[in-house]
Amino acid sequence: MENAEIKLSGKDFASDQEVKWCPGCGDYSILKQVQSTLADIGVKREDTVFVSGIGCSSRFPYYMNTYGVHSLHGRATALASGLKTARPDLNTWIVTGDGDALSIGGNHLIHLLRRNLNVNILLFNNEIYGLTKGQYSPASPKGTITKSSPMGSLDHSFNPLALCLGADSTFIARSMDRDPKHLRAILAEANNHIGTSMVEIYQNCNVFNDGAFFTFTEKATKGNTTLQLEHGQPLIFGDNRDLGIKLDGFKPVVVALDESTSTDDLWVHDESDLVKAGILTRFFDIPSAEMTLPRPFGVFYKESRSVYEEDVAIQINQAKEIKGEGDLNSLLAGANTWEVI
Amino acid sequence: MVETKEEKKTVTILFAGDSGDGMQLTGSQFTNTNALFGNDVSTFPDFPAEIRAPQGTIAGVSGFQLNFGSVDVFTPGDNADVLVAMNAAALKASLLKLKIGGTIIVNLSGFDKKNLRLAGFLNDENPLTDSSLGKYRVLEMDVTKLTRACLADTGMSVKHIDRSKNMFVLGVLYWMYNRKLDTTLAFFKAKFKGKQELIEANTKVLTAGYYFGDTSEIFTSRYEVKPAPLPKGVYRNMMGNQATAIGLIAAAKKANLDLFYGSYPITPASDILHELAKHKNFGVKTYQAEDEIAAICAAIGASFGGHLGITTSSGPGIALKGEALGYAAILELPLVVINVQRGGPSTGLPTKTEQSDLMQALYGRNGEAPIPVVAPCTPSDCFDVIYEAARIAVEHMTPVFFLSDGYIANGSEPWSFPLSKDLVPIKVKKLSAGGDDEKYRPYVRNEKLVRDWAIPGVKGLEHRVGGLEKENETGNVSYDPANHELMVKLRAKKVVNISDTIPDQNIEIGEDSGKVLVLGWGSTFGASKTAVTELVKDGVEVSQAHVRYLNPLPKNLGDLISRFDKVLVPEINDGQFVKLIRDKYLVDAIPFNKIMGIPFSSQEIKEKVLEILG
């Protein structure tokens, strides 16, 4: 009876290790949503691998009762690329942070995205270095005051999703630690996408950067500051769903929805539209926008493109068709031999 | 004209020309023909780091040295008997390598005013017209002009015609050494498949060169180099990097593992990647990574997934891999790390050879992270040694360093290749099901202190690995002081235990005790062997031992060393192995070093041995 499939619960995906993030850390919620999403999806624990880099978020694999690799700072993407190329059958998840993925691991990230291996990347963005006790990260807005930037950071920050789209990512989405339902839905969509799925998760570091995203996550403000993207639906937001976004050429404009404005005039979200996805990723740094644009959450963009590990397998099969299965004795002998008698 | 035949035991030819003159191709064709004829051969390509350095200058000279003989040859030759100089710069750069009384074949067109000026001959100085080449025999021919004449009616452009001039020289040499053109003609057919005009043009020029030798009156004699009395067997010609690639495929096949090769292009290691990429029908996965770090991390990932993970580089690239090497050591996953050493530090001398990364391989990581190190001593030996590296990696669950160098990598020699069935089996112990324990413990060890390889996809073996110190047996993260010391010692002892599985160190040449032991490693093998062989013949009490296992060292090495009055350690570096020997065995080993980017000559080693004997 051991092969009878028993439906696993989220708890079955939890390892026996004590979770050691700071009390109140946003990582707890993400861990829980990942565990319950895996149970919902119905993947097997033995076919699932979590690969992480270094940083608070990268302790993640230790808490998962699956296979796991806690790798080197910035290298989760590189290691997972080799693993997935070797083992296309494994359900592979990369857990990384804004420092790990965008700073020390920036190079591997963009190369993974262009190769488009079928893996899921969870980028926990808290706009700070947590594990090293609070220095500004490449996602920290310019002027952030930290221990290493007492007069404000001078570095212009990365826009993570714009960066990923620029690297030809085939799936980009954003979610947050404080909206479990939304996060589970996005994780499931990321898992369904064939290709590299990049999910930026706004995660609160309550010790070193508390409240960095509260304006988007707290009830009092989030209605007017966030925009939930849904494929085929017009861009509507606001506490009373009375605000919309339309495009004036390439410029997004916030409009009040009243008798004079029909929802037919609004921008309708299309996940396959690369140009519009590009505008969505830049909602918070479009200088020409007259009003503050809401922060989009959901799936910005997805496209279907061949995945690297499949192309590798196809090429190996082609080589076998053309040359025949490799024969070691022929390889050892080569084409030109002579005999000494 | 009377033709005489003169018999030679060994001949060393140095082809030198502009890096665009095709000297590497000429040299390798001449090598293949002689190898197939049955000569023992040894080669040494020597080319500039720049792909096309300014034409006609010393910086742009590309050389290919080849030693072939009817007797065993162990080196590409100390000095050349024949120098082919395609231009004035090639002559100037290579003349010192020619024996007094040697022959120079010069291409006259390469000695015009412009070429002489570019080579730095000033004030109308011309070595061909003054008496500066009086100690040599100079054979002049206008290769450029003859080649152009040969292809005048083909309608090809002068630029294209000139590319064939190396084939004219090759034809002349085939005549001089009484060799058939067949190997090269077959090469043309394969290389220019579908381009009939190129096959015909090159054939025409090669044949013209051959007949030029036959009919022109500048040659008074042909040389005869008979086949060498190599041990019975079937042979092929083999280059070092090629042997490394084939050895990896063989090891993967015999271990029944898929091969994953993560690499970033770097001289002089890239040819291994090129060779492996040709053999995808063996299921080989070559992964050209975005950088050196990604290359090793991807290989570690593949290894975690149950593949034979390999990564390759040269010195500066290995420096970048340092952190990941320590990581592979603490994970205790199989990984083969190839370093085709070149001159350093930093970018150093990319196309020149050196043995200066031994300390890097032994110690170049943070923390206590011992890694086994093996080194091949000749081009074909790369096959056996990389096979050993792979065996040690999977049987002992550890990263293993393979230290080749530019001299071995690009050199070639005849190889009596094995049959697949004669290769030693590689035992892989992958767990196929979870054990009785409720929870799998990934760092439980066997009697050799080796842990199991638990591959994702197997139910019941779910576990986590990482670079944080792990608790003994469970592999859980642990900061316990005593546990850390225990784990450091366990990982070190695991590497030491490998010495139980490697052969005892042998004496290559000479008695097993005596006055001097020439103790080397890596590519100094041939020069040492030639030197010691000749000295023994002269009655000198000297022996040679050459070490392939550098960590752990063979168990009997200390005893072997103690039976000699003096130990001489020749190395192409500033003294690294000698430090290890002094450290391990407390002997006053004598360093003998050359740091010029070129190998030792056997003469240099001979003289040094005689010097320390007083």
DSSP-assigned states of every residue in A141-203? PTT--BTTBTT---SPPP-HHHHHHHTT-SEEEEEETT-HHHHHHHHHHHHHSSS-EEEEEE-
3-state secondary structure of B348: coil
Per-residue pLDDT tens digits for B328-364: 999 999 999 999 999 999 999 998 999 999 999 999 9
Q: Answer yes or no: is B525 within a domain.
A: yes
Interface A-B, measured as beta-carbon pairs within 8 A, has a size of 201
Q: What is the pLDDT of residue A5?
A: 64
DSSP B267-313: TTTHHHHHHHHTTGGGT-EEEE-SSHHHHHHHHHHHHHTTSEEEEEE
pLDDT at A242 over 60: yes
Chain B, nearest residue to A71 by Cα: B466
Q: Pick the residue of A19, A331, A341 with the most B CBs within 10 A to test the interface with B by mutation.
A: A331
pLDDT confidence band for B392 (50 / 70 / 90): very high
Nearest beta carbon to residue B456 from set A46, A107, A316: A46
Reported ipTM: 0.97
CB B434 within 8 A of CB B428: no
What tokens does B22 get? 């095709």
Same domain, B266 and B401: yes
Interchain pair B285, A86: CB under 8 A: yes
Q: What is the pLDDT of residue B19?
A: 82
Nearest beta carbon to residue A69 from set B260, B289, B465: B465
What is d(CA A252, CA A286) in angstroms, rounded to the nearest whole number? 9
Same domain, B354 and B213: no
Q: What is the pLDDT of residue B217?
A: 67
Same domain, B173 and B240: no
pLDDT cut 70: percent of chain A above it: 96
| Residue range(s) defining the domain that contains residue B336 | 236-422
Provide the shortest C-alpha distance from residue A117 to chain B (in Å): 13
Last residue of a domain, which of B224, B249, B266? B224
Same domain, B196 and B274: no
Interchain pair A341, B232: CB under 8 A: yes
Q: What is the mean pLDDT of residues B374-379?
A: 97
CB of B365 within 8 Å of a chain A CB? The answer is no
Last residue of a domain, which of B393, B422, B451? B422
Q: What is the mean pLDDT of residues B263-279?
A: 96
Nearest beta carbon to residue A85 from set B302, B439, B458: B302
Report H helices in A227-327: 274-281, 308-323
Mean pLDDT across chain A, nearest whole number?
94
Last residue of a domain, which of B199, B224, B249? B224
Q: What is the pLDDT of residue A286?
A: 65
Interchain pair A78, B293: CB under 8 A: yes
Q: Answer yes or no: is B475 within a domain.
A: no
Q: What is the mean pLDDT of residues B515-538?
A: 96
Q: What is the mean pLDDT of residues A57-85?
A: 98
CATH code: domain of residue B196:
3.40.920.10
pLDDT confidence band for B433 (50 / 70 / 90): confident
Per-residue pLDDT tens digits for B43-67: 988 877 777 778 889 988 999 999 9
CB B63 within 8 A of CB B46: yes
Q: Answer yes or no: is B368 within a domain.
A: yes
Helix B292-304 to helix A76-86 angle, to the nearest 10 degrees? 50
Q: Answer yes or no: is B277 within a domain.
A: yes
Same domain, B315 and B216: no
CATH code: domain of residue B602:
3.40.50.920
pLDDT confidence band for A2 (50 / 70 / 90): very low
Which residue type sits at A149? S
CATH code: domain of residue B279:
3.40.50.970
What tokens does A72 get? 């080197």
Q: What is the pLDDT of residue A1?
A: 39
Question: The domain A1-213: what is its CATH number?
Answer: 3.40.50.970
Q: What is the mean pLDDT of residues B288-303?
A: 98
Q: Answer yes or no: is B438 within a domain.
A: no
CB A76 within 8 A of CB A105: yes
CB of B294 within 8 Å of a chain A CB? The answer is yes
Q: Answer yes or no: is B427 within a domain.
A: no
Mean pLDDT across chain B, nearest whole number?
94
Per-residue pLDDT tens digits for A185-212: 999 999 999 999 999 999 999 999 999 9
Same domain, B415 and B269: yes
Q: Answer yes or no: is B443 within a domain.
A: no
Nearest beta carbon to residue A82 from set B300, B419, B468: B300
Per-residue pLDDT tens digits for B193-236: 999 999 999 999 999 999 998 887 666 667 788 888 888 999 99
Q: What is the pLDDT of residue A263?
A: 84
Same domain, B264 and B345: yes
Helices (H) and strands (E) in chain B, counts: 21, 22
What is d(CA B272, CA B261) in angstroms, rounded to the nearest whole number? 10
Same domain, B99 and B201: yes
Interchain pair B235, A337: CB under 8 A: yes
Residue ranges, CATH 3.40.50.970, chain A: 1-213
Interchain pair B457, A46: CB under 8 A: yes
- Count: domains in chain B: 3
Q: Answer yes or no: is B8 within a domain.
A: yes
Same domain, B273 and B203: no
Same domain, B214 and B103: yes
Can you state the percent helix, strand and coil of chain B, rounding each to 5? 40, 25, 35
Same domain, B212 and B275: no
Same domain, B257 and B217: no
pLDDT confidence band for B118 (50 / 70 / 90): very high
